[in-house]
Structure 1
Amino acid sequence: MSITTLARSGLTLWQGLSTALNSIRPLLALLARGYVAEAFFLSGLTKLRDWDTTLLLFSDEYHVPLLPPPVAAVMGTGGELVLPVLLALGLGGRFAALGLSVMNVVAVISLSEIAPAALQQHITWGVLLAMLAVFGSGNWSADGLLVKPWLWRRGWLEQT
């Protein structure tokens, strides 16, 4: 077998692998969106269920910079309830991913002490959110299924 034949075989194999990996991108984006959205949404529901405790936590435990505790509690809870829904649906997915990224960073900064396992979870969420912000929500999203085709039909977006 010549080096040229071996190189062509390797290239063909690589192209097949690349095609296979590209075909699962929408699924992985959907799974990432669902995973992160669930964590933030459940956190928002917990805060909403016991508002007095939430206010107490924002007053005593969470030290959100630049915001009074009641304002931080409302904004944090609202963000944890609205942005995950947008992210899960993939509607304004990049906006939702960036918003949750800000909330994720503020959560880490606001806690005076954070357990290593909790910090690792925030890092995982941060990496997934960064990926979604950079690459978008994928084809299996409201953005990919509805918004992009609508924009293309009106000539407001170039087809890629």
Structure 2
Amino acid sequence: MNTTSNSLIAKLWSLSERGIAGLNALQPLAQLLARLYIAQVFFQSGLTKIHDFDTTIALFMDEYHVPLLNPTVAAYMGTTAELCLPVLLVLGLGGRFAAAGLFILNAVAVLSLMDVAPAAFQQHMFWGSLLAALLLWGPGKWSVDRFTTPWLRSRICGGAHDTTAYSRTA
């Protein structure tokens, strides 16, 4: 290769590195927006359920077929999860725990509603994808977890602990 092509490749490389750095800088914002969007979806669903809980119980008995759970228990558990876990998710407090809980809730909804609302399948898949991303990569730098996890780890594990796993994913 000649000097001109090396120079062009170096410039392209530098440009791509700046682009990647810019995308990396947007990561906390993307994680926050995902948390806010998912929390709003599930919290609104929980509010709808408590607005007329008798209807909610009836739906769990007649329409939603939650596997392995009594319909009344499923209604209470689902509604509680939809009202509590989004709050944790917005704060990024126990962010992975909240994302895991909502992911499971979403999966149960997909299984339970398959016959009732097949049109909602794509929406649930989108929500599940966002929740999986939050579960895998954490709630982000703009979260309470970012500050509490290292402190809790030092209290629980003392001085001997590896902080690199959390600092890369928070």
Which bracket does the TM-score occupy, shorter chain normalised?
Answer: over 0.9
For residue 7 of structure 1, report the CA deviation from its aligned partner.
1.4
1:1-150 to structure 2, matched below 5 A, reads 2-111=4-113, 112-116=115-119, 118-144=120-146, 146-150=147-151
Gaps of at least 5 residues in structure 2 are: none
| Superposition RMSD in Å | 1.5
What SS does the aligned partner of 1:140 have?
coil
Aligned residues: 158
Conserved? CA contact 2:85–2:101, under 8 Å: yes
How many angstroms apart in 1 are the aligned matches of 2:118 and 2:86? 24
Contact persistence 1:151–1:157 (CA under 8 A): no
Shift of 1:147: 1.2
Q: 1:152 to 1:54 in 2, by over 3 A?
A: closer
Identical pairs, percent: 53
Structure 1 length as normaliser, TM-score? 0.92
Whole-angstrom distance in 1 between the partners of 2:104 and 2:46:
15
Distance in 1, Cα, partners of 2:21 & 2:154: 27
Distance 2:25 2:70 in 1: 47
CA distance in 2, matches of 1:60, 1:15: 56
Structure 1: runs of 5+ lacking an equivalent: none
CA, structure 1 residues 108+152, in 2 after alignment: closer, same or farther (shift >3 Å)? closer
For residues 77 and 22 of structure 2, what CA distance do their matches in structure 1 show? 41
* Equivalent position SS for 2:100: helix
